[in-house]
Chains A and B, each alone.
Chain A
Amino acid sequence: MDEISRDIIRNCQNGSAECFANIVALYERPLFSFVYRLLTGSHREGYVEDAVQEIFLKAYKNIRGFRTERKTRFSNWLFTIARNHCLSLLRKRGIRTRSLDDEREKRGPMVDPRSRNPGQEALQKEMMEKMTTAVAQLPEGQKSAILLRHYECLSYEDIAQILDCSVGTVKSRIFRARENLMHLMEDYLSL
């Protein structure tokens, strides 16, 4: 992911709202996709846009708290705000993630997709639905870690900084997330 120049950040810190437009332009897309996936299962019309807007405004208000002299990447700082904001939204709106065991029980015996011989498109759609549901069921720590690793292509070190934990913990969370997803998506993996 591209990193915004420190000069632009300093200008924003000195009160230049115009410079903040550069930050929005650069991070709008990755932030949107991260928030979209993190809030999966609780989407509604304009929900993600509202959340991303609030995240940028929070960043603008607090940009003076970002230390340009330190080695922290600005994108990490922004993703930290995004993650905290999403967690707060999920808590406020009482969206509780069900446990993976609940989900496995609820699934019941699944029809073998190969035996139904559906059209490729329909199968893919079904697979996507299953996968988004499976991701939504992951514990938050695992979900954030795998989303940042897989979709934002961040290093373990960056993810550790965003999630405020050790690199070892990040690796372990991603491993568990993958194991859980492989288990939940078992019927589709060999297709």
Chain B
Amino acid sequence: MEHRKECEEVRTLLRNLAPNLEEIGDEKAGKHLEECPECRAYLEKMRSLDKMLGLWEAPKPEGNLQARVMAGIAQIEKDRSKGILAPFRSLVQFRFRVPAYAFVLLILLFAFSVAVNVAVMLGSSKNRQIARGKNERGVDIRNVVGEGRDIASQTPIVIRDDTVFHTGAGDRTGNYLESVPGATVQPALVVIMGMPPTGLGTVSSTVEKGSSYLDDKGESL
């Protein structure tokens, strides 16, 4: 039984060494091989097999194999330069070469787009109010298409549909109109470019083509 176990150990060693069977450096295995004719026969068989395998030579590749490969590579490069995606190829290559950087870039782009969306949502709250027909003070300003200041008198005005309304000094957009519709307002002069003044005491002026109004910041409406 002990002998069998030793045989198996030696044969495992031989298998692991193959095909370098001349390198049996293990003293214990060497001694066992001297004493065990079965293991010696096994070793001889293994050596014979290795010798036989060693006789199987592969022919040399044809002399022009390297030239064929290089010609194939030249063709690949030619095809690459022709493709519709050729200008973007370097980007694609970069993506494959540095996937971690590409991943970080994607994350940054995502974060940026989220930030932009949030800013747009916050900034458009006033617009949303207007869309719902209320100004900052909750007054209905539907149809109001602009607000600003009379150039000459600096009186606040709003433009509802095609009519200019003076909202009175010190008052703000739409509030006056809403609270006192049709009431007398402070006389003011609305300057409409290319047109004579509409006169005193009017509460509204018709907006004509080419009319120009300024908003609170002095920019054209």
Contacts and interface: CB of A to CB of B under 8 A. Distances in A.
A127 B53 contact: no
Contacts of B72: 53, 56-57
Contacts of A64: 93, 96-97
Contacts of A181: 49, 53
Interface stretch (B14-22, B116-124, B178-186): B14-22
B65 interface: yes
Given A37-B56, A124-B55, A189-B52, A174 B69 contact: no
A144 interface: no
A95 interface: no
A150 B53 contact: yes
Contacts of B55: 124, 127-128, 131
B73 interface: yes
A20 interface: yes
A41 to B, nearest CB: 13
A52 interface: yes
Q: Max chain A CB contacts within 10 Å: which of B16, B69, B73, B93?
A: B69
Contacts of A185: 49, 52
Contacts of A36: 58-59
Interface string B3-20: 000000000000110110
B48 A189 contact: yes
B45 A182 contact: yes
A109 B62 CA distance: 39
Interface in A51-91: 52-53, 56-57, 60-61, 64-65
Interface of A: 13, 17, 20-21, 24-25, 28-29, 32-33, 36-37, 46, 48-49, 52-53, 56-57, 60-61, 64-65, 124, 127-128, 131-132, 135, 149-151, 171, 174-175, 178, 181-182, 185, 188-191
